[in-house]
Copies of this chain bind each other. A is one copy, B any other.
Amino acid sequence: MATPVTIRIQPDDFDVAREIAALSHGRTDIGAVVSFSGICRGDEDETKIAALTLEHYPGMAEEEIGRHVDEALSRWPLNGVTVIHRVGRIEPGQNIVLVVTASQHRQAAFQAAEFLMDYLKTSAPFWKKEESAAGNGWVEAHARDDQAAARWTKS
């Protein structure tokens, strides 16, 4: 059976429990499910944030995530992968992104989820604009995210 893969880009919120259940319900070959939820924080480097607006590159975003999911499937024995990324206006405390990975063993599920998050941060075409008391501005990329993604490069 092909590994179930779900990739969605949507303005609406997601339900972590529903997505975990969709991957694992009724299956007895899965031993480990890891979920990562990325949440909008109320402050960033001491600045109070009123909201974020997420812009994306339709078409490329889905394809780029798909390429990294394929890469994850080739690296780890996974039983399912779900990636959901929200776009539009998101307020502090609300969900931004969800990655769920399922595998027989925990290491594969953990590593695949971390790998996908590191690449979502650095290579999926999404951009965050912040609304704060200081005005609106585009979030700058962090060098630490490039470093996090670089550790997966095969040498």
Contact = CB atoms under 8 A, between A and B. Distances in A.
A130 to B, nearest CB: 14
A37 B28 CA distance: 14
Contacts of A36: 32-34, 106, 109-110
Given A15-B17, A106-B117, A24 B39 contact: yes
Interface residues of A, number: 36
Which of A29, A32, A106 has the most C-beta atoms of chain B within 10 angstroms of its own C-beta?
A106
Interface string A99-119: 000001011011001100100
A4 interface: no
Contacts of A88: none
Q: Which of A34, A42, A107: most chain B Cβ within 10 A?
A: A34
Interface of A: 15-18, 20, 24-43, 92-93, 104, 106-107, 109-110, 113-114, 117, 148
